[in-house]
Structure 1
């Protein structure tokens, strides 16, 4: 049950702006390793910012329904890809756009299937599934050697991260190591994002929060 039964064009402004800002920032930050605590080869700064996109998507879905949320995703996708080409590289933009659109639409589908359950289950499950798909698509397209042709076609140097690095007693390509680290942080952030999601729901939609709080 959405918070509002109807929406206007102005309702799209804030969530679309938030989506664009999050994706653009993440596309820049994913190019910088998290060089603390020896995590430079398994984590980037982008892992901390991108999960906020799922929070925005889930709040849009809860507030106005899946059709509105898909509209936010499509608008955010278009603008974010344009910004990504300008702020990052065409390969990053393609990887980001593909991962963003696919993962966010999956998030909407999962959320909508679970929206009548306890308030935290839908956003948590949708963020987990969306994060797994997003990480797989983004890191493989952006950094796996098999997609190096994108750099060549757009006149850029090969940005693949195919060099082997140690990973729990074996060696794997750096992009896979970063992807594993990324998805672990995204899962952690999926839990953290439940705090603002629950708070916003409790403040602005207490009837829905209380109605769903104890359901199975």
Structure 2
């Protein structure tokens, strides 16, 4: 069953939503600050969004992971409209929801494989989609070196995503993210 069944589950759901919203909002602000012609600060924070959705997916299944993505998306986009330029909020929202759906679907299909396969494949696929959509909408035609920023940020997202395998493994080992049966049709 992929529903939240214990009182602690509601607290974990709220924590996941807050974490998702905080990651997206921080990334939307940090992406506006270039480190150099290849990288912005947002690349370092955004991969945590994939970790959050994969932990929720592992513990509660894809239906609840999608719910966390939608609520986190709404909170983050609303805050981003106040704290970041509209083009960043639009690009982020579009890229976020598309990449989260891909991440959740890939993860769910591979959830029974080796512990590392689902989060790795889901993160790589989602990071590629997120980068293409976000940079294409948010920065194309702005005059900055957006293509090199996109490539640099993608490289960091992939590296950080691989690095997130360790926290993922540690958290699932502590039973904070017990695997649940797939319920993709929900």
Q: Normalising by the residue count of structure 1, what TM-score does the alignment of the two structures yield?
A: 0.77
Q: 2:98, 2:178 → 1: CA distance?
A: 32
Q: 2:156 pairs with 180, 185, 188, which one?
A: 185
Structure 1 unaligned segments of length 5 or more: list them.
Answer: 35-39, 146-159, 164-173, 209-216
| Residue equivalent to 1:127 | 123
**Does the C-alpha gap of structure 1 residues 33 and 207 become closer, same or farther in structure 2, counting only changes over 3 Å?**
closer
How far off is 1:128 after superposition? Answer: 0.3
8 Å Cα contact 1:84-1:93 kept in structure 2? yes
| Residue equivalent to 1:14 | 15
Structure number with the bigger relative contact order (C-alpha 8 A, sep ≥ 6) is 2
**Does the C-alpha gap of structure 1 residues 76 and 207 become closer, same or farther in structure 2, counting only changes over 3 Å?**
closer
Larger radius of gyration: 1
8 Å Cα contact 2:23-2:46 kept in structure 1? yes
Q: CA RMSD in A?
A: 1.9
Match of 1:75, SS? helix
Q: 2:178, 2:63 → 1: CA distance?
A: 22
Q: 1:87, 1:206 → 2: CA distance?
A: 32
Q: 2:133, 2:109 → 1: CA distance?
A: 23
How far off is 1:204 after superposition? Answer: 1.5
How far off is 1:186 after superposition? Answer: 0.7
| Residue equivalent to 1:37 | none
1:204 aligns with 2:183: no
8 Å Cα contact 1:6-1:64 kept in structure 2? no
Match of 1:177, SS? helix
Q: 2:178, 2:92 → 1: CA distance?
A: 37
Count of residues in correspondence between the two structures: 177
How far off is 1:5 after superposition? Answer: 6.6
Q: Normalising by the residue count of structure 2, what TM-score does the alignment of the two structures yield?
A: 0.89
| Structure 1 residue runs of 4 or more that deviate by more than 3 Å after TM superposition | 4-11, 205-208
Deviations 1:7-26 (A, max 9, x none): 66544210000001000000
Q: 1:50, 1:10 → 2: CA distance?
A: 23
